[in-house]
Structure formats: C-alpha cells, structure tokens
Structure 1
C-alpha cells in the first residue's frame, strides 16, 4: 500500500511536470500570437485544471463515470468560452473605427494619376529644382504637404511608405518628431510637440522651430445611435477625468461611457492633454498586445464605434480622410466644429498646426516655409480642407 502510494506520487510528479511544460509552450505561443486577452489565460487555467484532474485519476479518487463527466465538462466549458470569445471578437472587428492605419495614403500621393491631392489654380511662384527638403508628418496632414510637394517639388516618385528611397514620408506624429530630432528628416508637418517630445529635443541639444501654416479643430465624436449631440468643455473634462461615467449624466442614454484615448505623443493625445490642463487624465481603455521584439506591452485602443464610446481626432481627418457615417461630431459649448467657427474663433478647441524644423544647412528650407505662409500656400491649406491662417 505504501509503495503504491509513492509510485502514484511519482507518476503524479512526472505527469504534472509534463503538463506544466506543455502549458509553458502554450503560454509562449499564445502570447506571441496576440492571445493575451483570452487564449493565454485559458492555457494557464486549463493546465492547472488538467493537472488536478490527472492527479485525481492517478490516485483513483474519481470513479470512471465521474471522471468522464468531469472531462466532458472541461472540454465543453473550454469550447463554450472559446466560441463566446470568437463571436465577440468577430462583432468587434465589424465595428467602424477611426484609426490612422486604415487610411490608404497613396490615394493622396503627389504626381500620381487620379490622386486626390489638390492643385493651385495657377503655377506656383516658388520651385525647388534640387536639394529638396526631406518631409515627414502626421497622417492627417499628409494630403496637405503632398499638395505642397506637387506644387513646388521636382516631378518624381514620392511614396509615403517607402522609408528607404522616398524624400516625402508619412510615419505619424511621434515617429516624425523622433526622426526630426535625430536628423533623419528636415521638415515635419504636425501638431505642437508634447512635453516628452520637447524634453527629447532638449536632451539632444536640438531647438524645434514651429512655423504655423494653418488652423484646425480638435473634435470629439460619438456613435450616431447616441442621442448626445453636444457637450460643454467642462463636461468633457469631467468625463476624461473619470468623474462622469454614464451618458445619462449628460442627457444621453443610461450607458457607461467608454472614453477612448490615443497613444502617447500622438498629435490628438497631446491636444487632449493640453485641453485637460491641470485636470488629471484617467487611465484609458487598453488592449494587451504581444510583440516579439519588445515583449508584452500595453497600447491605447484606437477608437471603435461602440454605441457607448467617445472618441476624438482632428476635423479634417475624422470628416474627410476617415469619413464614417457611423459617428456624430459633437458641438462644444454649443458651437459646431466647421471652417466658419474655426475662422471666427467661436469654436473653443481650434488650434494651429505647424511645419516644424531644426537648424539645417539646406538653403531651400526657409524659402519653402515662407511660401507655405504665402497666399499660394494658404490657398492649398483651404483647398485641402483646413482653415488658413488669415
């Protein structure tokens, strides 16, 4: 009897070790595959449950009938949980999103037939024939600086995604600031830098020069099924501070507010932080993702069009580049965001955007910046869909 117990204990030790080893392999595989939200925890739970089940079998604690019931229950519950997760994931993937990565920038590429980029009514009075500045910037501003390129740059191929060969890229606001500070590009078209970007430049001994080239509205939006069409600025601050958590509080349906945010140092996130001022910003909804190179990281969710969601962006991007009939732009303090309210100063969240440079020996940079603020440059700002400086 004693020997039988120790034999069973030895079998249990090896069985649990084998299950644990397979569990670790499953954990790593699901983590790398992006399954941190569901499949990785499922692997852990199943490993523990199966280990306990096997030990009970080895020690003959479960009868044959009960062991079958337990096994079927484990398999059935696992399948039900997986089916439920996949159904929810399929539903979420069908929801409209407002996300930079969904815009096909080649639609606005300069010197390409049928491009959506706008043109001047007459030839530009400024041209760059050689030594053209390298450009980069925010997704929302690419159609604008692509129009600048088409007006004054030499005819050529300027693929916004070709990092190796193109002089005109579009990498996003955080990456564009990083590349400018590191000397990898000459001019970037972006919103004002975040505090972290300013500190990065200072550490590198780089002075950022901001040349305003137009004005834009920072906008908030909701799902079209939401009855709320406008909010006060103070209400928005309370929502993003976590003080107001239900749409019912601001005249909407009785639903929890899902207030999305954007990644740190993006133009829209920097604008939200400036809007909040001294009011603390709450922790945003987050998704866990796995990256082979950087390990497990957390990234702020892009805005998804849940019926209870609240998102934000810039007017041109939300209404033109990533146009969706599923969202409603909110009026702020009773003022709707449009060119008229931006130009008049009535819309409270209007802001300038910039061509940002550092010290550079390229002789074409300053004349180009001057031209951006000229009547022709500002004509392209208006034609693209933004608001000119004057």
Structure 2
C-alpha cells in the first residue's frame, strides 16, 4: 500500500504546484515604471496603494533618472517612463523607430523646482539670475547675495537626470555647470548633502525639501519673491514650475490604461499632494489624453 501513499503525496505536491502557477498567471505580468528619481517616491506610493486596491495587480517601480527611463522606453524594457522633463522630439522618434508606436505624453503631477539651502542659511530670496551666476561659478561667496562671508558649495544632479536637464535649460539657459558642482545620484542625496553643509546650495523637487530650507525665487530683480506653494506653482507665478510626466509607447490599454486612469483620478491625485507634489488642475487630470507639450502655465490657464 506504500505506492498508494506515495501517489497521494505526489498528487498533493502537484496540486500545490498547479495552484502556485495558476496564482501567478492570475496575477499577470507586472507593469513596470522606470525613470525619474524625483518621481520615484510618488511612483512607489501610487503602486503601493493601487496594488492594495486591485487584487492580482503587480507594479514594479525603479529610478535611475529620467534619461534612464527614456532609454528603457526606447528599448522596450519598461511599460511606463517617469520623467521630470519633457521628452525630446528625437527621443520620441527613436521610440517610434524601435516600437512602431507614437509616444503618448501624460502629465501626472506638478512640481516647483526648489532651490535648497541649509537650515542655518539666512538667505530668504534669490533671483533666477543670481542662482544662474552661482552655478556658473561667477558668484562664489554668500556675502555677494546678502549672506555671510563664506564660500558657496554647489550640489546638483547627474546629467542623466531630468531635473538636471530642466535646471540647465530654464535656469542656466543651457550654459554649463561650474566644474566644482558636486553631482549626486538622486534628489535625496542632494538634500542630505545640503542638510549637513551650512555653505551648500542645491536644487530639486519640492517634495524633497524636508530637513532643509528652500528660498523664495524672483524672476528678475524687479519681480516679487515667490514661494513654491501649490497656488503659486499651479498659477505659474513661481518661475520654475514644471509638470512631471508619464510616457508610454502607444495609447495606453488594458491594465496600463486602468492604472493611468486611476492616477489621473481623484484618489491618485490626492496621493500626489500627500507625497509633497501638487495635483493637476481638474481639467488636465480628468483627461485620458492630456494635451501634448503642456506646461504648468497652460495648465493654470485651464483652471
């Protein structure tokens, strides 16, 4: 009768295996999000809440920088690219050449690019030009902008970062960073460095401005100093406001479309604010196909 016991045991083992396989198949393929380190906390929070709400769903979120996410979208190794800067036309053409699909741009949140200072730094405001001159190495002492007589230590992001690209274009006007800028692999690393260095200045997403200070920013010497508050960012009064984006190859469908719709809906947008960024204006977040090339200023005009 031993063979009967063995057969029963084998049947039990096989049933466990088939059960696990069926469970795995029911879960389906994981949706992958890759790219912006600015957005990685937001992407992880969305994934955590969505998976709890949606049994069987799986979402994998990784950072590496906007450039890394864009490269992954081009190569077909991610479903969704998270980017803190708009994709370039050349990059979109590469996606189409590789996949045969047009890139769909989806604004998912709004951010004010913050200028980080150490908590002990008394500076309350800077003009965009002062920030530019600091990062070009033409202003090297805090005394020149109303601070103490100490040299300025520059921190920034690596060149595959969307935040790096946005800052270079909109603040430095495409000039090169001074070679003494210490480049770090993520916004959290920048804020950590600034928090420990009284002489430091850095830049990055508003959601990371914890344990440090962010200064008010003036468009020019004659303009008012603007705080990167939600009202000021959504109205584009804050001079370095930007969208945060998802990019997909082709119109979203199936499980990806369900996720996109949820992120653009009320619950997904409430999480944007909970993480520390700003939700899209209703007219933008309610659209399943947001306008291509939209800016924070355009969004504010639709309110």
Higher strand fraction (1 or 2): 2
Interval containing the TM-score (normalised by the shorter chain): 0.5 to 0.7
Gaps of at least 5 residues in structure 1 are 1-127, 159-166, 288-298
Q: Which residue number corresponds to residue 20 of structure 2? A: none
Secondary structure in 1 aligned to 2:209? helix
Contact between 1:213 and 1:353, CA under 8 Å: does it hold in 2?
yes
How far 1:335 sits from its partner (Å)? Answer: 1.3
- The answer on 1:168 being equivalent to 2:30 is no
Counterpart position of 1:224: 119
Tell me, what secondary structure is at the counterpart of 1:346? coil
Q: TM-score, normalised by structure 2?
A: 0.67
Contact 1:210 1:354 in 2 (8 A): yes
TM-score normalised by structure 1 residue count: 0.53
- CA distance in 2 between partners of 1:346 and 1:286 (Å): 28
Q: Residue in 1 aligned with 2:22?
A: none
Corresponding residue for residue 146 of structure 1: 44
Give the 5 Å matches for 1:82-97: none
Identify which of 328, 344, 350 aligns with 2:213. 328
The aligned counterpart of 2:277 is 386
Q: Which runs of 5+ in 2 are unaligned?
A: 1-25, 219-224, 282-303
Of 185, 192, 208, which aligns to 2:78?
Answer: 185
Q: Distance in 1 between matches of 2:276 and 2:252?
A: 32
Q: Name which of 18, 23, 32 aligns with 1:134.
A: 32
**Are 1:194 and 1:265, in contact at CA under 8 Å, matched by a contact in 2?**
no
Pairing partner for 1:271 from 151, 162, 166:
166
Q: Which has the higher contact order (CA 8 A, sep 6+)?
A: 2
SS at match of 2:163: helix
Larger radius of gyration: 1
Aligned partner of 2:250 among 334, 359, 363: 359
- The superposition leaves residues 206-228 of structure 1 with CA deviations (integer Å, 9 ceiling, x where unpaired) of 55322001101100112222221
Q: Is the 8 A contact 1:229 1:328 kept in 2?
A: no
1:334-377 C-alpha deviation (Å, 9 max, x unpaired): 11222232233322211110111113785333343233222333
